[in-house]
Structure formats: C-alpha cells, structure tokens
Amino acid sequence: MSVQSKPNIQLPSGAIRPIVILISGSGSNMRSLVETAEREDWAERLKAQVVAVISNRPDAKGLDWARSAGLITQVLDHRGFDSREAFDAALMRLIDGHQPALVLLAGFMRILTPDFVEHYQGRLINIHPSVLPAFPGLHTHRRALEAGCGFAGATVHQVTAALDHGPILAQAVVPVLPGDTEQTLAQRVLSQEHRIYPQAVAAWLQSH
C-alpha cells in the first residue's frame, strides 16, 4: 500500500522542525521549496527542514527528483482505499510518522476531509493557481481566459475546511497576454508560484 525509499542524508537532530510536502504531479513547487530551503539555510536560520515528500500517485514525476535529492519519499495510492476518510486516515498516520511542524500541499490534487484539515489546523499550507477568492477549484487558467480576465495569479493560503479558502499568506499577479493559452498562462503563473511559496513558508517559519 505504501512504498518508501531510503533517505541518503543525515537529518540534523535537536530543534529542527520537520516539514512534509505532499504532491501529486510534477512537483516543481516542491523542488522550489527544497532548493530555497537549502540555499537560504533554513535548517540553521529557521530551524526547519524538508524531511519527506509524499505522493498519492505512484507515477508522480516529482518523486524522482525528491529521491535524487536524498529526501524520504513515500507513496500512498488513493486508489487502494474504499473511502476518502480511510485514505486520509492512512495519510495522517504516514505524515505523523515525521512529526511535522508544517505540512505543505504542493500540487496535491485531493479534496481533504474535515478530520484531516482539523488535525493539521494552523500548520497546513496550500498553493492555488488563482488570485483567490477568484476561481477556487480546478481549471483555473481556462476559467480565467474564458472570463476575459486581464490578470491571473496564484495564492498561498492556510488550509481550512472550505476548499481553496483560508487566510491568505501571499499572492502574485501576472498579466494575461494576447494569444495566451491555458499552457502559456499556467507557465507564467507557475514561475511566480516558485517565488511566493518559499517566501511565504519562510515568513511563516519566522513568525512561529
């Protein structure tokens, strides 16, 4: 049911606050978080370190990079569970094995149960590819184009029981350009996601 690769790094002991990242796909936000944490020496400066990456999809591309970066990777395939509740309960057990101070959703494409959200209340953060509260849910770029928006963007927010709501920690805005497709717009937004997600997490760590 769950598959785990061995880490090839020594985790610092003591006061380091573990961070767990959840992904479902390419994991570019995960990579940006991990690389920023390294570059800015979060372990020393913010007493925090990304320790594990968990995916609900065995074929998530981001897992390869996470493994090569020496992170613990774990897969919990949601298709092996009868209910959302059962999957989330197993996921909580997996996450809690790392005793995380912070759980980061980075393209984790699952609707979370209220129990899960409550369990991590105050230490669960998400990035969403729209300027919330506009366009919660899926296909944000397509919907922004269809609506004729002049701007699109991304939001880092604390997770609450309501889908894609919760206190906003950071936002970025990009222009919608003539001839944009879903893909070109998504790429422009994504490059901003890679900037604001690590910034917002660093700010959260600084203030907690």
Least separation in angstroms between residue 13's CB and ligand GAR is 30
Rule CB under 6 A: is residue 54 a binding residue for ligand GAR?
A: no
Least separation in angstroms between residue 79's CB and ligand GAR is 19
Per-residue contact flags (x/-) with ligand GAR for residues 11 to 50, judged by CB under 6 A: ------------x-xxxxx---------------------
For ligand GAR, give the closer residue by CB, 25 or 97. Answer: 25
Per-residue contact flags (x/-) with ligand GAR for residues 96 to 135, judged by CB under 6 A: ----------xx-------------------xxx------
List the catalytic residues. Answer: 128
The set of residues, in sequence order, having a beta carbon less than 8 Å from that of 5 and lying 6+ positions away, is: 67, 72, 73
Least separation in angstroms between residue 15's CB and ligand GAR is 29
The residue within the footprint of ligand GAR, chosen from 37, 176, 193, 201 (CB under 6 A), is 193
For ligand GAR, give the closer residue by CB, 51 or 105. Answer: 105
**Binding stretches for ligand GAR (CB under 6 A):** 23, 25-29, 62, 106-107, 127-129, 154, 190, 193
